[in-house]
Amino acid sequence: MASQTFPHTVPMVIARPSAATFKPLPPLPLRLREDPASQEPLFGQAFEEGVAKLDAILKARLKAAKKRTVPNARELVASYNRRSQYEELLDINDPEQIEWIDLGPEHKYVTGEAVPYFLLEVLMIRLCELSKIPS
């Protein structure tokens, strides 16, 4: 419900910004290789062992189901990933976006019956923004 553009129900509590600052975590495992010419595994030996175990399990299941694997599957996946372009999300479609509602200097938070009025104002602003986006 919280990620819907126009929810059917209205929540009765609004989160408020706090003084705490959050640092975005780097993606783990780090996908950087110091020497581009090296042939070492990108994620380390433990990761490669885990992939080998998963590969063995997949092959056993496919064999039990009388299916065959494609011999160059890894190369097909790698070439597809190199060719594919990422899709850029618009701000209105971003489920990770946090939208803070400006309550003004007199309110730190809003609860109870005052919540729908603030949400109605935000929805009206959002409708105006959506009408300006060319389709």
pLDDT digits (tens, 9 = 90+) for 13-32: 656 666 767 777 776 666 66
Tokens of 83: 């060719």
Give the burial string for 48-75 (b: 16+ CB within 10 Å, else e): eeeeeeeeeeeeeeeeeeeeeeeeeeee
The alpha carbon of 31 is separated from its chain's Cα centroid by a whole number of angstroms, namely: 18
Please indicate, yes or no, whether the overall pTM of this predicted structure exceeds 0.85: no
Give mean pLDDT, residues 122-128.
77
The string of pLDDT tens digits covering residues 33-80 is: 677 777 776 677 788 888 899 989 998 999 999 998 888 988 998 899
If phi > 0 it is left, if psi is from -120 to 50 it is alpha, else beta; for residue 11 that is beta
